[in-house]
């Protein structure tokens, strides 16, 4: 008969094994780079959903200087975590460049998720600085405010003070209280 302590040792050994299986299942999709056309189609779908779900989003996006959309940002972690995604920068409704987002973290975390990240550039200078950088880092190279749009609110009813506004969306809708601080954005060729 096994004691409670022996069961705890078994469970501690199983958790990393389960996490490794989760990563192995998730990595093939992340490792396969999307083509420019695949990214553009995913960006179109993400923007359509954003406009449909968030009141005032269409006008807000039209008034912006540029919009950087990452349709699928994969995040996984077990004490150490990481996230990665690829997307497109749209200026005047057309794709100007392709970028990836990457971030690492440490601390109590377990699991995996997929989210959509949309960065809206309100200020022309912020957009120029972003485009001219090599490896732009949120919170270091530029200030980004994560939008806090609650139920019943409209984007046009909120005054944003930062030059770049981030919207983070998961399968359930707009996510609140999330950060992209420390995420690195790098131009990629497609």
Read off the tokens for 142: 């530029």
Return the bridge partners of 72, or none.
86
Q: Are 97 and 89 in contact (CB under 8 A)?
A: yes
**How much of the chain exceeds pLDDT 90, in percent?**
37
Q: What whole-number percentage of the chain has pLDDT above 70?
A: 65
Model pLDDT, residue 54: 84
Instruction: Say if residue 135 is exposed, middle or buried (CB neighbours under 10 Å; 0-12, 13-18, 19+).
Output: exposed
> In the prediction, which pLDDT does 176 show?
45
Rounded CA-CA distance 66/55 in Å is 19
Predicted local confidence at residue 86, as pLDDT: 96
pLDDT tier for residue 177 given thresholds of 50, 70 and 90? very low
Contacts of residue 102, defined as CB under 8 A and 6 or more positions apart, other chains included, come to: 82, 83, 84, 183, 184, 186
Q: What is the mean pLDDT of residues 166-186?
A: 68
Asked whether residue 179 carries a pLDDT value surpassing 70, the answer given is no
Model pLDDT, residue 10: 47
Predicted local confidence at residue 65, as pLDDT: 97
pLDDT per residue over 89-130, tens digit each? 999 999 999 999 998 776 666 677 788 999 999 999 999 999
For 57-104, the DSSP string reads: HHHHHHHSSEEEEEEEEEEEEEEEEEEEEEEEEEETTEEEEEEEEEEE
Average pLDDT (75-101) is 90
Residue 155 has pLDDT above 80, yes or no: no
Mean pLDDT estimate for the chain: 77
- pTM to 2 decimals? 0.75
Mean pLDDT over residues 59-86, rounded? 89
State yes or no: pLDDT of 188 exceeds 80: yes
**Predicted pLDDT at 76:** 77
Q: What is the pLDDT of residues 159-169, one digit of tens each?
A: 677 899 988 88
């Amino acid at each position: 008969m096994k004691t409670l302590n022996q069961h705890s040792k078994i469970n501690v050994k199983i958790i990393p094994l389960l996490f490794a299986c989760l990563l192995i299942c998730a990595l093939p999709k992340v490792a396969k780079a999307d083509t420019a056309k695949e990214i553009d189609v995913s960006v179109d779908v993400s923007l359509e959903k954003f406009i449909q779900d968030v009141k005032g989003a269409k006008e807000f996006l039209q008034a912006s200087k540029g919009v950087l959309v990452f349709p699928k940002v994969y995040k996984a972690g077990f004490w150490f975590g990481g996230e990665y995604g690829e997307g497109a920068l749209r200026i005047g409704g057309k794709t100007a460049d392709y970028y990836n987002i990457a971030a690492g973290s440490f601390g109590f975390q377990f699991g995996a998720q997929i989210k959509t990240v949309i960065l809206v550039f309100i200020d022309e200078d912020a957009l120029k600085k972003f485009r001219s950088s090599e490896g732009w880092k949120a919170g270091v190279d530029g200030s980004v405010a994560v939008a806090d749009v609650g139920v019943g609110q409209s984007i046009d009813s909120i005054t944003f003070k930062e030059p770049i506004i981030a919207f983070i969306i998961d399968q359930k809708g707009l996510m609140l209280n999330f950060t992209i601080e420390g995420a690195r954005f790098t131009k990629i060729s497609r």
